[in-house]
């Protein structure tokens, strides 16, 4: 007898998993490893938990462009909500001395209050507390319609030549719903800021495990997918120290890529100090190879990672004269002056037009002594001895992963765990692994035959689901 199933198809659009973040000015949901608001910060007169309800990417309502838009949902709050949502860019040289136009699509539904674009041209720092050189932040802006479809709104801002940071975003004060989408920054004769991968933002998209320090490059390096360069753990070329070094190689056609080396968690001991980074290079470094660094903000208060990047700065790589095949020592000094919001320092090498380069045996010094960074706030602590002992006692071995139709007594603990649950989610640690697919098949069969489950939701190809629907 065939068991009737209801098959719901989840269509997942393909996306590129990249090692660097971008602003995501169109609020597409899959960007930055499904962290679409990663490089947008917010200020709000409520708690982090409330903010998570207030701000989100909406893929249900029709967007002005693409699949997603930013939704400010103040419809469920008892009192008017006051806040701001903003990001920033480093202005291009051609933007300085010009007047920029910042525009966006705006939509409202039952909204009473103020909602308007604002912008600041700043020097030296990022965030709303930066030194302002010019601004357009008009609280007297007329309120938007209570309910309207997508409308184009815009403001203009002069960008002085000393500007190092251009901050822009949406201010809101009121109740109801406001959507924002398709943000644009334009200047001159048709010039426009194009959403791009930002060097130095790697720590914001990497997992805690991938962010662990590896300055001698002896540990296996996590995959950092970047179409512009390859970063390989090299155990063939003789290392300066140990068995491995980091091999950086631009891909064909790449122009002067920025290659990420690692991140340093910051603490107050470094404030006002100079961090010295020493290490060894092998390969051509002239004429334009340089060492880069940038300070990062990382905020996890809402349960979703948010961050921002300061101005990317470069330091020349001075090394002793030697053949490219020989290891040469280098040293760079990084002055650490920042406000309390910065929590990470990202380090890397600007390969320029030098071709491939090897890096090894990096060391961090403060006041001439080795600097030990604080524990990464995003790092998950290793299990304790007591936790490992509990795991050994509680773990139940499986007879097999294969759905062979045999004895299912080893799945009794799984059955007790699911009980009479109305929704049961089966995750996976990898996509496409044979054993994972087999175990999921076996568990699904157990749920149907032993637990009475009759409805399944699958993440699968449309063609396969049509055949499966036809079968059941």
Q: Which of 161, 192, 223 is the last residue of a domain?
A: 192
Q: What are phi and psi of 464, to 5 degrees?
A: -65, -40
Q: Same domain for 183 and 332? A: no
CATH of the domain at 206: 2.60.120
In a domain, 325, yes or no: yes
Q: Same domain for 141 and 93? A: yes
Dist. CA 136–CA 185, nearest whole Å:
14
Q: What three-state secondary structure class fits 436?
A: helix
In a domain, 188, yes or no: yes
Average pLDDT of the segment spanning 224-244? 89
CATH of the domain at 131: 2.60.120.260
Dist. CA 384–CA 395, nearest whole Å:
16
- Tokens found for residue 402: 């294969």
- Degrees to nearest 5, angle at CA 384 with 382 and 390: 120
- Tokens found for residue 251: 């891909």
Q: Same domain for 324 and 414? A: no
148 pLDDT band, cuts 50/70/90, is very high
Q: Same domain for 416 and 437? A: yes
In a domain, 141, yes or no: yes
- For residue 356, pLDDT over 70 is answered with yes
Q: What are phi and psi of 180, to 5 degrees?
A: -130, 140
- The domain total for the chain is 3
For residue 358, give the nearest of 224, 200, 214, 244 by alpha carbon.
244
For residue 379, give the nearest of 220, 210, 214, 224 by alpha carbon.
210
Q: Same domain for 156 and 217? A: no
- For residue 5, pLDDT over 50 is answered with no
Burial (CB < 10 A; 0-12, 13-18, 19+), residue 268, is exposed
Chain position carrying tokens 């990417």: 57
Q: Which of 173, 192, 211 is the last residue of a domain?
A: 192
Q: Over the stretch 389-440, which tens digit does the pLDDT of each residue have? A: 999 998 989 999 899 888 999 999 999 988 888 888 888 777 667 888 899 8
Q: Same domain for 214 and 351? A: yes
- For residue 231, pLDDT over 60 is answered with yes
Q: Same domain for 342 and 228? A: yes
Q: What is the pLDDT of residue 124?
A: 66
Which DSSP category does 268 fall into? G
End-to-end CA distance of the chain: 11
Burial (CB < 10 A; 0-12, 13-18, 19+), residue 284, is middle
- For residue 17, pLDDT over 70 is answered with no
In a domain, 388, yes or no: yes
Contact 300, 344 (CB under 8 A): no
In a domain, 314, yes or no: yes
Q: Over the stretch 278-291, which tens digit does the pLDDT of each residue have? A: 999 988 655 557 99
Contact 248, 357 (CB under 8 A): yes
- Degrees to nearest 5, angle at CA 185 with 52 and 256: 95
Q: Over the stretch 154-209, which tens digit does the pLDDT of each residue have? A: 999 999 999 999 999 999 999 999 999 999 999 998 999 999 999 999 999 988 77
- Degrees to nearest 5, angle at CA 76 with 184 and 24: 20
- For residue 15, pLDDT over 60 is answered with no
Q: Same domain for 314 and 219? A: yes
Q: Same domain for 340 and 391? A: no
In a domain, 5, yes or no: no
For residue 445, give the nearest of 394, 407, 397, 471 by alpha carbon.
407
Q: What are phi and psi of 257, to 5 degrees?
A: -75, 155
- H helix intervals, 15-95: 31-34, 48-54
Of 54-58, 140-144, 298-302, 330-334, which gets the smallest average pLDDT?
298-302
- For residue 46, pLDDT over 80 is answered with no
Q: Same domain for 110 and 207? A: no
Q: How many CB atoms lie within 10 A of CB 449?
A: 12
Q: Over the stretch 63-86, which tens digit does the pLDDT of each residue have? A: 999 999 999 999 988 889 999 999
In a domain, 2, yes or no: no
Of 141-145, 439-443, 456-460, which gets the smallest average pLDDT?
456-460
For residue 296, give the nearest of 306, 309, 313, 305 by alpha carbon.
309
- Tokens found for residue 412: 């009794």
Q: What are phi and psi of 48, to 5 degrees?
A: -60, -40
Residues for the chain: how many in total? 472
Dist. CA 156–CA 170, nearest whole Å:
14
In a domain, 1, yes or no: no
- Tokens found for residue 355: 């071709």
Q: What is the pLDDT of residue 74?
A: 93
Q: What is the residue range of 213's domain?
A: 202-370
Q: Strand ranges (DSSP E) for 124-164?
A: 131-136, 148-158
Dist. CA 56–CA 61, nearest whole Å:
12
How far, in Å, are 234, 292, 315, 350 from residue 289 at the CA level? 20, 10, 9, 6
Q: What is the pLDDT of residue 112?
A: 96
Burial (CB < 10 A; 0-12, 13-18, 19+), residue 462, is exposed
- Degrees to nearest 5, angle at CA 117 with 115 and 119: 140
Q: Same domain for 313 and 353? A: yes
Q: What is the pLDDT of residue 375?
A: 82
Contact 306, 37 (CB under 8 A): yes
Q: What is the pLDDT of residue 206?
A: 87
Q: Same domain for 182 and 219? A: no
Q: Which of 348, 370, 392 is the last residue of a domain?
A: 370
**Looking at the DSSP assignment, which residues form a beta bridge with residue 35?**
none
Which DSSP category does 216 fall into? T
Q: What are phi and psi of 349, to 5 degrees?
A: -125, 130
Q: What is the pLDDT of residue 48?
A: 57
Dist. CA 126–CA 121, nearest whole Å:
10
Dist. CA 334–CA 215, nearest whole Å:
17
Which distant-in-sequence residues (6+ apart) come within 8 Å of 71 by Cβ?
A: 55, 56, 57, 58, 61, 177, 178, 179
Q: What is the pLDDT of residue 210?
A: 81
Contact 266, 309 (CB under 8 A): no
């Amino acid at each position: 007898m065939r068991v009737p199933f209801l098959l719901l198809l989840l269509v997942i659009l393909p996306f590129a998993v990249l090692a660097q973040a971008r602003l995501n000015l169109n609020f597409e949901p899959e960007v930055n490893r499904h962290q679409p608001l990663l490089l947008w910060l917010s200020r709000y007169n409520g708690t982090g938990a409330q903010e998570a309800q207030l701000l989100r990417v909406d893929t249900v309502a029709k967007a002005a462009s693409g699949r997603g838009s930013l939704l400010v949902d103040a419809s469920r709050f008892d009192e008017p909500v006051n806040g701001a949502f903003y990001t920033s860019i480093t202005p291009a040289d051609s933007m300085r001395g010009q007047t920029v136009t910042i525009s966006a699509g705006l939509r409202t539904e039952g909204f009473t209050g103020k909602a308007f674009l604002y912008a600041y041209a700043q020097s030296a720092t990022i965030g709303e507390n930066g030194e302002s050189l010019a601004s357009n932040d008009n609280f007297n802006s007329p309120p938007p319609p209570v309910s309207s479809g997508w409308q184009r709104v815009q403001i203009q801002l002069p960008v002085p030549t000393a500007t190092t940071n251009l901050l822009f975003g949406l201010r809101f004060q009121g109740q109801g719903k406001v959507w924002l989408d398709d943000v644009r920054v334009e200047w001159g004769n048709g010039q426009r800021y194009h959403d791009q991968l930002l060097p130095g933002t790697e720590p914001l998209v990497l997992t805690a495990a991938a962010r662990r320090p590896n300055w001698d490059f002896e540990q296996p390096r996590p995959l950092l997918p970047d179409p512009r360069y390859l970063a390989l753990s090299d155990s063939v070329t003789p290392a300066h120290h140990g068995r491995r070094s980091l091999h950086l190689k631009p891909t064909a056609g790449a122009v002067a890529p920025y290659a990420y080396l690692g991140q340093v968690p910051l603490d107050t001991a470094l404030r006002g100090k100079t961090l010295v980074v020493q290490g060894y290079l092998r390969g051509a470094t002239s004429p334009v190879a340089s060492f880069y660094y940038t300070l990062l903000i990382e905020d996890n208060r809402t349960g979703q990672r948010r961050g921002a990047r300061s101005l990317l700065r470069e330091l020349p790589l001075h090394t002793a004269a030697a053949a490219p095949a020989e290891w040469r020592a280098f040293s760079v000094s990084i002055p650490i002056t920042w406000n309390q919001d910065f929590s990470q320092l990202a380090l890397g090498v600007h390969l320029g037009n030098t071709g491939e380069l090897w890096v090894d045996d990096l060391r961090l010094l403060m006041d001439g002594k080795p600097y030990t960074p604080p524990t990464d706030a995003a790092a998950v602590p290793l299990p304790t001895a007591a936790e490992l002992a509990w795991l050994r006692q509680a773990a139940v071995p499986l007879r097999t992963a294969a759905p062979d139709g045999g004895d299912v007594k080893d799945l009794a603990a799984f059955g007790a765990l699911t009980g009479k649950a109305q929704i049961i989610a089966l995750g996976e640690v990898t996509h496409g692994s044979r054993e994972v697919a087999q175990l999921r098949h076996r568990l699904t069969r157990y749920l149907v035959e032993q637990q009475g489950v009759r409805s399944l939701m699958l993440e699968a190809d449309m063609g396969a689901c049509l055949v499966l629907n036809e079968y059941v």
